[in-house]
Amino acid sequence: MSVSIDIVPSSSCLHMFGDPDPLSAYSLSGHVAISLSSPYSFFSTRRTARVLLKSVSLTFEGQSEINTPETGYAAIRLCSVSRDIAPSEHMELTNHGHEDGSPCQWNVIFNLPIPGWLPATSAIGLEELGVRYALCATAKFITLDSEDNHRHSWSLATLCAPFRSRVKSVDASTPIKLDRFISPEPHPPPITNYLVNPTPKDSPCIPQEVLSKIQVLASVPEFVNTQGTSVPITLRMRTKDLTEDQCKRLQIASLSINIIQHEKFRTRPSPAYLTSFSLPPASMQPPNLPLRDPHPISTLYDPSLLYSSSSGNAEAITRSFSLLPRGDDGTYKLSSDNYAFIDDFKLSSDATPTWYTMETHVPFAQLSSASVDEEQEAWGGEPVIRESAAGALWVVWHDLKVDVTFLYDLDGPGEGGEKARETLGFSVPLRFGREAPLRSASTPSLDSTTTRSSLLSPPSPSHFKATLPPYSQLYDSNGDRKIDYSVPLPLYTPPKLPLYQMTEGEAWGRERDWKGGLRAAL
């Protein structure tokens, strides 16, 4: 006989929203299909297949792998969520009456809670290592043969039966893609302000007492969509406590703005990552417990080493590149004689400060124009824009790098003589992410199959692609349901009683009773 299982998730893609949150969980549902069929025979009719189903277990597992010449191969198990989904007692399955037809099928539904802090699925380099997730199912059963089958059939397997294990198992797995989005609904991002302290790039040519009194306020979006084309930037500058003579000598010459993407590969999680997120213990990590589906490149390294290979010595390696489009150096030249702070000295200490404001949109490209050698591209992949994310073995972050060039009249204000040039630089963080796609109203149907019975309940004939909202959006941490008190309750209106139309006989009878009661009272 033939027993097989197949995992059918409601959706092969799991969507998570916002920052990784260890207190949130998402729902992954679907069903496991168990198929039973009779063996094919040339010389006799097909026999009835009978099995005793002992258990059906399901495991959601995630893994992260990297491989660089400096660090070697490294792997870690991100999570492992297991559930016994059926049955509570051993159950007999048989295809009696359907031996010659299609395989009989039983569906076992499941609903697994998935941690809300997991990083998104990713592929790195030409070898396509990175972060992967999969659902794995195992069904254990015992074959039941009837007395008639034993009496009329004989084979070599009959002699070997006492030496074989009676409990058999079948396995199945299916990949699950995990996507992270900035928020459940697309919306304009709020603005974040950074009061920065710019520092000179070289030994200052402008007096330090002047440079130290320049204040810069940078405003950037809280997040940037990776599918966009530019980042809105606002820079505000002013001076504080400069003399009139110094304010008249200082001017702004140009700006240089760049968007830098940093990628860090490491052989083990950082202590901060281990403190924030609950990874499986060391006993469940390779090589103590190998990954279910390791990359084939793992066989080239010594399996006795936990996180490094014989060729890798470094614990971490970082690469950085610009995201500016080809042909754009990010330089913005301002008008000549731009004495932006000439009136700053007139302000008293209690006056409202004024800022010299500059606004622009800095473009970025999906594929960086920076040159990357073939070896680095092999293990790190092409220099493409990626979401800002902190994983166990791979971290991506972005910076907005700004250089402001100032000129200072050494001979005096407005003399037009020798000018000192100085560049002040600073960086502010940028967060790149993906906006959630628009929800689809379509409800794709699953192919119907012949089902003899169901262990729990049959799955719905159609499933929505939309993901359930996270637990933290519906319930507080103590388990109480969240209530939006900003929405007022509707005003109370008393119910209207239905009008009752009396017949002429009822009206006469009531009038008679009323008059009779009145006479009795008198």
Q: For 323-365, how does the pLDDT look when each residue is reduced to its tens digit (9 = 90+)? A: 999 988 889 998 888 888 888 877 655 566 689 999 999 999 9
Judge whether residue 281 has pLDDT over 90.
Answer: yes
Q: What is the mean pLDDT of the chain?
A: 80
pTM: 0.75
Cα–Cα distance between 336 and 349 in angstroms, integer?
30
Do strands 419-430 and 214-221 pair parallel, antiparallel, or not at all (unpaired)?
unpaired
Distance, C-alpha 163 to centroid of its chain:
49
| 414 pLDDT tier (thresholds 50, 70, 90) | low
Position with higher pLDDT, 131 vs 352: 131
Residue 511 pLDDT grade (very low, low, confident, very high; cuts 50, 70, 90): very low
Distance CA 262, CA 338 (A): 35
**The pLDDT of residue 450 is above 60:** no
Among residues of the chain, what percentage have pLDDT more than 70? 75
Q: What is the mean pLDDT of residues 182-198?
A: 86
Whether 360 and 256 have beta carbons less than 8 Å apart is answered as no
**Domains of the chain, each with CATH number or no CATH:** 3-148+163-182 (2.60.40.640), 191-268+315-435 (2.60.40)
User: How many CA atoms are closer than 13 Å to the CA of 461, on its beta-carbon side?
Assistant: 4
